[in-house]
Structure 1
Amino acid sequence: MTNLLQGKRVFVTGASSGIGRAVAIGCAQHGADVALNYGHDEAGAESAVREIEALGRTAFAMQADVAEPESAGRFVGEAATALGGIDVFVNNAGICPFHGFLDMPVDTFERTMRVNMHGAYFMVQAAARAMVEQGTGGSIMAMSSISALVGGEYQTHYTPTKAGVLSLMQSTAIALGKHGIRCNALLPGTILTEINRDDLADRQKREYMESRVPLGRLGQPEDMVGPAVFLASDLSAYVTGAALLVDGGMFVNLQ
């Protein structure tokens, strides 16, 4: 394994499972020390920490609800103290409780907005402040989604948040470029995680979704590691404000 991230300090939100966990461990495999934020899955976070430490890297984990704005400064501050600074921030935490539009509960809509959009805003802001104070630049990336580009019948509360995250990365790329901070969005397609486990338990639906992917399969969390490592590393030194679609070709498959 190449050490593309040797010496870098990477912070990842929503890192106890799914894409966040895969990215956190993948960054450690490339030489990074990693700070993990998690919401509720303490066992998952602890096991991720053990895997990172087994690679000879330093790991730090903190429980914090990203929907609470004060969590952002607390996580970034304590993680930066533990790792000695921050070089890369990955905003990954998100939820998608599938529900119809006409009877969408207000609390479901508002919770999704607070976690996915407000959480991204305040976490990215806290990371950016730390990077500016540090004075050495950095890389910020956020997990948007293919859902930023297309609709979903049971995702009317979710798709706007992912479009918002994409827009946030475009605007922060402009705001933070003068500080040497790059901001980019990753747009996963259908990745098999806890967020869609129940939705894809329907065999017919899963087979249909697979049939839409030119590469012939749905994504795994590990499929997001390479793109994330690229954006975290110096290989992407002139990449900012970009949106990288990682979907096996699903988006372009109109027929």
Structure 2
Amino acid sequence: MLLKDKVVLITGGSRGIGAAVAVEMAKQGADVAINSNSGGAAAAEVIAAVEAHGRRCISVEGDVALPETATAFVNAAVEAFGRVDVFVSNAGICPFHAFLDMPAETLKRTMEVNLHGAYFMTQAAANQMVKQGNGGAIVAISSISALVGGEFQTHYTPTKAGVHSLMQSCAIALGRHGIRCNSVLPGTILTDINRDDLSDPAKREYMEGRIPLGRLGQPEDIGGAVAFLASDMAAYVTGAALLVDGGAFVNLQ
């Protein structure tokens, strides 16, 4: 129970990595608030999964690209649970596209959701933590793509590098308030973002062959890393980046 009776907020929490993190937070004893752009049945499933572990959960709909969504999300969590102890910035999109004819709107939307959304949400959560005066933990889901390139991800990789950089700078800005800021860099995790891209058996086999542990990641593989960084076990860890990629990044030969 690393997070017993803590309150954890998660963006993009209705599916994929966000949903898996929400359930892991509940397993570790936390109450959970999730934000998603659509909510609906997917959010209801996450709420049910959290409640199955004896914890409370709320869902707040809203577009993370809008600053007012961040304020509304934090306010709703405080109204429901009284405070914010941990914030997990997870919401992100990656509409794969070639570089030379990248639509301006695709680039703009990816930047707004992945980077601007992380900024606004982190800022709102941090302000609440400062107001409470008891410190806190912020964990951003960056990506191995912050460290490597991607032919069809020229709009996506800069946002993930930016998310990691945001955590480094926030670690400095918020350290005096006892707020720790770290990033998790997942490798290839099977989610809705890349399911179509990995539907080709040959490509999937190639990707699995590059990973020393011999398999693609599952959303649940990220939950433990987030729980550690959010917990008091990481009390002296801030400004760090934790690769969770099955060894893919170091397998250069």
Query: What TM-score, normalized to structure 2?
Result: 0.99
The superposition leaves residues 156-200 of structure 1 with CA deviations (integer Å, 9 ceiling, x where unpaired) of 000000000000000000000000000000000000000001100
Does residue 1:238 correspond to 2:233, yes or no?
no
CA offset at residue 80 of structure 1? Answer: 1.5
CA–CA separation in structure 1 for the residues paired with 2:249 and 2:240: 17
- In the alignment, structure 1 segments of 5+ residues that lack a partner are none
Aligned residues: 253
Distance 2:19 2:169 in 1: 27
Structure 1 runs of 4+ aligned residues shifted over 2 Å read none
1:24 counterpart (22, 25, 34)? 22
8 Å contact 2:13–2:36 — kept in the other structure? yes
* Amino acid across the alignment from 1:250: A
Q: Deviations over 1:90-145 (max 9, x none)?
A: 00000000000000001000000000000000000000000000100000010000
Taking the aligned partners of 1:8 and 1:40, their CA distance within structure 2 comes to 26
One-letter identity of the residue aligned with 2:80: A
> Is 1:221 aligned to 2:219, yes or no?
yes
| Matched residue SS, 2:106 | helix
Q: Corresponding residue for 2:182?
A: 184
Aligned equivalent of 1:98, options 96, 99, 103: 96
2-structure distance, mates of 1:5, 1:121: 24
Residue equivalent to 1:67 = 65
Q: Percent identity?
A: 67
Equivalent residue number for residue 81 of structure 2: 83
Instruction: Select the residue among 150, 154, 160 that pairs with 1:156.
Output: 154
- 2:117 aligns with 119
Question: Partner residue of 1:204?
Answer: 202
3-state secondary structure, aligned to 2:193: helix
Determine if contact 2:64/2:91 at 8 Å carries over to the other structure: yes
Match of 1:37 in 2: 35
Q: Distance in 2 between matches of 1:253 and 1:15?
A: 31
Distance 1:17 1:223 in 2: 14
Separation in structure 2 between the aligned mates of residue 99 and residue 251 of structure 1, nearest angstrom? 23
Cα distance in 2 for residues equivalent to 1:107 and 1:127: 28
- TM superposition shift of 1:41: 4.0
1:40 deviation in Å?
A: 1.5
DSSP-derived class of the 1:93 partner = coil
Q: How does 1:7-22 map to 2 (within 5 A)?
A: 7-22=5-20
Q: Provide the aligned C-alpha RMSD in A.
A: 0.6
The alignment partner of 2:189 has SS state of coil
Q: Is the 8 A contact 2:39 2:60 kept in 1?
A: no
Report the equivalent of 2:129.
131
2:229 and 2:218 map into 1 onto residues whose CA distance is 19
Shift of 1:70: 1.0
Structure 2 CA distance for aligned equivalents of residues 15 and 94 of structure 1: 11
Contact 2:39 2:59 in 1 (8 A): no
Separation (CA, whole Å) in 2 of partners of 1:135 and 1:42: 34
Give 1:78's aligned amino acid.
A
Shift of 1:223: 0.2
The TM-score normalised by the length of structure 1 is: 0.98
Structure 1 residue aligned with 2:164, among 163, 166, 170?
A: 166
Which residue identity lines up with residue 179 of structure 1 in the other structure? H
Once residues 192 and 136 of structure 2 are traced to their aligned partners in structure 1, the CA distance between those partners, rounded to angstroms, is 30
